[in-house]
Amino acid sequence: MLRYDTSGLYGRDGLTKSDVPGGDDEQIRKAVEQLYQRTESGELGFMDTPDTSFEPIQAWADERLHEEWKAQLVIGIGGSSLGARAVLSSALPAHKRGLDTYIADNLDPETVDRLFSFLDPKTTLVVVITKSGTTVETMSQFWIARQWIADAVGEDRADRHFVAITDPEKGELRKLVDQHRWFDFEVPSNVGGRFSVLTPVGLIPLALAGYPIDELLAGARDARDRHRQLDDAAQSWGVAAAEHLMLAEGGYQQLVMMTYADRLQGLVDWFRQLWAESLGKAKNRNGELVNVGITPIKAVGVVDQHSQVQLYMEGPKNKYFSFLEVEQFERDRIIPESPNMPDALAHLQGRRLSEVFAAELKGTRGALAESGRPTSTWRFDRITPRSVGAFLFSWQMITAVAGEMMDINAFDQPGVELGKQIAHGLLGQDKTRKFADLARSPSATGTKTVLQVL
C-alpha cells in the first residue's frame, strides 16, 4: 500500500482548509477534464502508459536472457535513463535476475573510459535511447560504443549488440536502425521523455535486468484506475496539485523531498526532473511572461539531518517538505546489549535499526512542524514494484494537473534548447555556430571575475 498524507501542510504558517479548494472546485475540475480530453484526442499519451502491453517486451527480453549476454549498457540521459535507474535502485537483488545493468548518461570522460574499460564488449548488449537521435551526450557515447563493439567482434557481428529505442518514424537514430536492422522499440510520439518510464524507454532496460515490469505497470494502473472517475481525480490529484500551488503563492518556492530509505533515492532524482522541467516555465500559454516554477531539492535522511536541516529549521521560510517513509524494511539489524554501553545510549540496546530510523524521521518531521514548516509524507508499507509504479504515476498526474492549473505547457522544455545550441556551436556545427559567442566568459565585459587560487 502507498499513502500520501498532506495533513502536515496545514497549520501554523502553512495552509488552512479554506485556502485550498475542494474536489468540486471549478478550476480543479476544468484542469483534470482538460487532461482527459487531451488524452482522448491522442495529444497526450502518458495517462495510457500503464496499459502498455508488457508481454511482447517480456518475451523479447527473455530471449535475450537465454543468449550469451552478461551485461547491458544503457546509453541515455534525462528522461531516457532516470526512470529505469530509479526503479532499479529501488529493487532488491531478488527483483533483478537478468543482465548486470550499467547506465551511461553523464559525459565525464574518466567515468566513461572506466566503464568501457570494465565491461566485456563481447558479452555486452548496448541499449541506446533517444527520441531525436541527435542528443549530444547519448550519441557521443553511442559512437564510442559502436567502435568498441566493432573492434572486439568485427563489423559484421557488431549490429546484433545494439538495441535502439527512438522515434517510430524520424530522427537520426531511426535512420541507423533502418540501415543496420537493429532490434528496436518505439518511443510513443505523444509521450515526452520525463513521462516515459512506463513505455519501452524504461521497460526494456528493466525487463533485461530481470525486473518484474508487469507488477510495476499494475501498480501504476491501480493508482490511475482508483481515481479514474472525474470526481475522485479532482479530489486526489487535483487537490494535491492545488496544495502545491497555494504553498508557492504563499512564498514556499522550494520543495524538499527527503527520503528515509536508500532504495528510494533514485525516485527522488526522477521526481526532480519531472517537477523542474514540467513546471519551470518563462511563459504561459498566452505567451505572457510569468517565470513560474517550484524548485525541487533532494535530501537524504538521516545524512542530511547533519548537513541541511539547520538551514531548513532556522533559515528562510521558503521551503516545504515531502518525506518518503517506509514502514517495513526487508532487512534489519538489532543493536546489541552490552554492559559497556554508556548510560546516555543505554536506551538503544535491543532496538532495531528500523526503529531508530523511524524515530529520526519522526523527530525531523516533528521539529520542522514545530518551527512552522509545512510537511507531507509518502508512506510505503513496503517498497515493492507495485508501490513504485503507483508513486511514479501519481506524481506524473499531480505534475500534469498542476501545469494545467498554472496555464503552462508542462510537456515541453524550451529553456533547455539554448544550451544545446551553444554546445553544438562550440563544437563546430554550422547551423549553430552563431550561438558559440554566448559562451564567452563574463570577464569579457571588462569586469574582473577570476580569482587565482593555486
Q: What is the pLDDT of residue 235?
A: 65
Do 222 and 346 share a domain, yes or no?
Answer: yes
Q: Which residues contact 438 (CB under 8 A, 6 or more apart)?
A: 418, 422
Q: 121 in a domain, yes or no? A: yes
pLDDT in tens, 211-225: 999 999 999 999 998
Domain boundary among 211, 239, 254: 211
- Tell me which amino acid residue 175 is: K
Q: 445 in a domain, yes or no? A: no
Q: What is the CATH number of the domain that holds 74?
A: 3.40.50.10490
For residues 378 and 239, the model is more confident at: 378
pTM of the model: 0.94
Domain boundary among 211, 235, 270: 211
Decide: residue 142, CB within 10 A, 0-12 exposed, 13-18 middle, 19+ buried: buried
Q: 377 in a domain, yes or no? A: yes
How many degrees, rounded to 5, is the angle at CA 81 between CA 80 and CA 87? 125
- Give the residue among 180, 106, 172 at the shortest CA–CA distance from 138: 106
Q: 449 in a domain, yes or no? A: no
- pLDDT over threshold 70, residue 448: no
Do 70 and 167 share a domain, yes or no?
Answer: yes
Question: 400-403 long-range CB contacts below 8 Å, 24 or more apart?
Answer: 400/35, 400/44, 400/46, 400/278, 401/28, 401/31, 401/32, 401/35, 401/237, 401/238, 401/240, 401/241, 402/241, 402/244, 402/245, 402/278, 402/279, 403/278, 403/279
Do 27 and 162 share a domain, yes or no?
Answer: no
104 φ/ψ angles, rounded to the nearest 5 degrees: -105, 110
Do 187 and 302 share a domain, yes or no?
Answer: no
pLDDT in tens, 344-388: 988 988 999 999 999 999 999 999 999 999 999 999 999 999 999
Reported as type and span, the H/E element at residue 291 is: strand 289-292
Q: 321 in a domain, yes or no? A: yes
- Tell me which amino acid residue 68 is: E
Q: 454 in a domain, yes or no? A: no
Which residue is it, cell 537465454?
66
Do 70 and 27 share a domain, yes or no?
Answer: no
Q: 446 in a domain, yes or no? A: no
Q: What is the pLDDT of residue 233?
A: 57
- pLDDT over threshold 80, residue 419: no
Domain count for the chain, please give it.
Answer: 3
- CA 443 to chain centroid: 36
Q: How far apart are CA 435 and CA 442, in angstroms?
A: 16
Q: How far apart are CA 447 and CA 450, in angstroms?
A: 9
Strands, E assignment, 27-175: 71-75, 100-104, 124-129, 162-166
Q: Which residues contact 396 (CB under 8 A, 6 or more apart)?
A: 46, 195, 274
Do 247 and 112 share a domain, yes or no?
Answer: no
What is the set of active-site residues? 277, 306, 420
- CA 390 to chain centroid: 14
DSSP characters over 40-66: HTTS--GGGGGG--HHHHHHHHHHHHT
Contact 183/164 with Cβ under 8 angstroms? yes
Distances (CA, A) of 37 to 29, 32, 52, 186, 252: 12, 9, 20, 24, 31
Q: 366 in a domain, yes or no? A: yes
- pLDDT over threshold 80, residue 439: no
Q: What is the pLDDT of residue 95?
A: 60
List the end-to-end C-alpha distance of the chain, in Å, as a whole number.
Answer: 55
124 φ/ψ angles, rounded to the nearest 5 degrees: -110, 130
Do 102 and 186 share a domain, yes or no?
Answer: yes
Range of the domain at 96: 46-211
Which residue is it, cell 475522485?
232
Do 261 and 295 share a domain, yes or no?
Answer: yes
* pLDDT, mean of residues 409-430: 80
Do 65 and 177 share a domain, yes or no?
Answer: yes
Lowest mean pLDDT: which of 23-32, 72-81, 136-145, 399-408? Answer: 23-32
pLDDT in tens, 37-69: 999 999 999 999 999 999 999 999 999 999 999
- pLDDT over threshold 80, residue 438: no
